[in-house]
Structure 1
């Protein structure tokens, strides 16, 4: 038996948790993506200052109901991803896979709704050249949709292997996708 007054190996519960959960490279990716989206939104707001009436008229052509539905869809999928992290930590493989599948399915629903909106605008002859608003709209929401697609693949991949660190990493990426949408929504769909 070791003397309690003598220094010894640190107990597991004495170790400090890392400042950020998951892999450092994933956090570098997340922060860099947030900077890119932030720059795009800032540029849109700056250009909007020169033509607020034109931006408002262009914005009126968007499907705000679809945007609201997509917000509920992504926030709910983020909840599923967070619950999947807890299930993975509890080593509940079945629950983890089910929650990741639910988050992925909602991601696919988001893409379907966004695709419907893109098709409707295209059918009306609206493109990136119609107005500066639509250039920003297609760039920001299209780039975001690409991130949703990547996130669906990432969630599916970690669901297949189902290891806690991977689930946590994928969930962090998915939460970034959620956060970006919550930033895009007011600037693109609501700001007057």
Structure 2
């Protein structure tokens, strides 16, 4: 037990550079400014997608309602739970880094595994649809479904690479620059999670709403 405690203590950065101490002490907006530009751009693009979907659904409510019933809500819900849990572990890891406590890299590792589970879940759902001859050419609903969720899946894959870099960067000694990069990666992952929650509501919960 003593040996394990020693290993855990050495795994995470308990010592930080003076710049890191100053960063933690000063009030600021989290992350690098550039990541907020990226996040804002992503949100604007997806907002335009959501508007297009809403307009298309209003023009063919009956067809969208029928196609909506072909989605597997269980897989959609499972994917949502996996991403939400992954985002939670990123937040817990970031908290441990800020408090200079051990366990941040372990939390990031769990987040990576959960994000990978989402990818498997989404690929299984795609395979299920294709096996039933449901493709982007089937209807407008599935054209939007495959397009939006595939773009989001690319975000998830990019986010997983970011998470791996975050885990590898959370080694001692933790500098202010590395902390900002890790923090920026965490923000990106939270946005990926948020976008999926909107997509889940749009397709799985509201996709068949008549209006």
Match of 1:31 in 2: 40
Gaps of 5+ in 1: 1-11
**CA distance, structure 2, for counterparts of residue 190 and residue 87 of structure 1:** 35
2:169 and 2:182 in contact (8 A); partners too: no
Please name the residue that 2:27 is paired with.
Answer: 17
Deviations 1:71-124 (A, max 9, x none): 1111111110111111112234x5111111111111000010000000000111
How much does 1:16 deviate?
Answer: 5.3
CA contact (8 A) 2:53 2:144 kept: yes
Count the aligned residue pairs: 178
Partner of 2:73: 64
Deviations 1:18-38 (A, max 9, x none): 2x2110111110111111111
TM-fit CA distance, 1:43:
0.4
1:128 to 136, 140, 148: 136
2: CA distance between counterparts of 1:187 and 1:110?
A: 18
Q: Output the CA distance in 2 between the equivalents of 1:189 and 1:41.
A: 14
Matching of residue 180 in structure 1 with residue 190 in structure 2: no
Which residue in the other structure is 2:186 paired with?
Answer: 171
Q: Structure 2 stretches of 5 or more lacking a match?
A: 1-21, 171-177
Q: Which has the higher contact order (CA 8 A, sep 6+)?
A: 2
TM-score (norm 2): 0.81
CA root-mean-square deviation: 1.5
Deviation at 1:164, TM superposition (A): 2.4
